[in-house]
Structure 1
Amino acid sequence: MARWPYITSKWKKLRLVKLGQNPICEICERRGMTVEANTVDHIKPISQGGAAYPELSGLMALCARCHNEKTAGFDRTHGNSTGRRFKGCDAEGEPIDPSDGWWGGGGSDHESGSSC
C-alpha cells in the first residue's frame, strides 16, 4: 500500500474521517456481523478511473477480509461477469453489494422481485 495516493497526508486524513464516520465494516454489517473497519476502499478503483480523493460517499469502510474479497474479485479483474463486488445476500434476501443493480442501477431484477 506504499504507493500514491496512500502515502499522502490528504489520503490519511480522508481515511480517518471515513473510519470515524463508519467504524464498522459496511459489508460485514450487511451480513449481520459486527466487525471493526480498518481499511478504506475506493468504490470505483483508481485503476478503473476512480478519483484518488473522492467524496466520502465514494469510499467504503471495510475490514481486511472484505477489502481483500473486493480487490481480488473485482478491482484486479476490472469487474466480473455479474458486476457484483461482494457475493451474497442479507437476511431479507437483498444483495449485500450496495453497488448491485438490484438497488436501482442497470440490469436490475428488482421489479420482478428477484434479488439473489
Structure 2
Amino acid sequence: MSKWPYSTATWQRLRAAKLSASPLCEPCIRREVVEPATVVDHIVAISKGGEPFPPLSGLMAMCEPCHNAKTNAKDHPNATGFRRALKGFDVDGNPIDPEGWGFDGQGLTAAVPASETREDLVLILPNQEGDQWV
C-alpha cells in the first residue's frame, strides 16, 4: 500500500501497536476460530469520515479474508450496505455483525474483547505473575 496514510511511519507504528495488542483476528475469535491477524482495519473508513490515525479502539485486527469481506460490504465506494460486513455467528447463534446487515462501528470495537473472557487464549504459568499469550 503506497497511499497516504499507509505509507507513513506513523501508520506503521500504529499498525504494529494494534497487532501487538490484538494478535488474533477479532471477527474470527467471535466465531471461536483462532486465526492470526495480518491486517489492521479502520472501523470507520477514512473515506467515510474516519480518522487516519485513530486510537487503538478505532482499529480492528483482522485476517485478510475478514478484512476483504468487511471492506467490500461497507467501505468500498460501490458498497450498497445490504451485505453483512462480518459474516458468521458466535456459538450462541448470534450474528457476529452487531447490526445484522452492515457495520457502523458500534458494539464491536477493538476496546471490547472479542469474547466475554480470553481465558481460552491465555496461559498462566505457575510462579509467574501476569498473563502470557499463547
Fold match by TM threshold 0.5: yes
Distance of 2:50 and 2:80 partners within structure 1: 13
Letter in 2 for 1:45: A
Cα shift at 1:94: 2.1
Letter in 1 for 2:95: P
Give the match for residue 5 of structure 1: 5
What aligned pairs does 1:1-116 form with structure 2 within 5 A after superposition? 1-76=1-76, 77-78=78-79, 80-81=81-82, 84-97=84-97, 100-101=98-99
Of 69-78 and 3-12, the range deviating more from structure 2: 69-78
Q: Spell out structure 1 runs of 4+ moving beyond 3 A.
A: none
The count of corresponding residues between Structure 1 and Structure 2 is 100
Larger radius of gyration: 2
Aligned residues with identical type, % of pairs: 47
Task: Describe the superposition over 1:76-105 as per-residue Cα deviations: whole angstroms up to 9, x where unpaired.
Answer: 1456036x42122111122212xx247xx6
Distance of 2:42 and 2:12 partners within structure 1: 13
Task: Describe the superposition over 1:53-92 as per-residue Cα deviations: whole angstroms up to 9, x where unpaired.
Answer: 011111000011111111111111456036x421221111
Task: Describe the superposition over 1:26-45 as per-residue Cα deviations: whole angstroms up to 9, x where unpaired.
Answer: 01111111110010000000
Task: Return the TM-score normalized by structure 1.
Answer: 0.78
Instruction: Verify the 8 A CA contact 1:48 1:78 in the aligned structure 2.
Output: no
Instruction: Verify the 8 A CA contact 2:72 2:79 in the aligned structure 1.
Output: no
Distance of 2:99 and 2:72 partners within structure 1: 20
Q: 1:59 to 1:13 in 2, by over 3 A?
A: same
More helix by share: 1
Distance of 1:38 and 1:54 partners within structure 2: 18
Unmatched tracts of structure 1, length 5 or more: 106-116
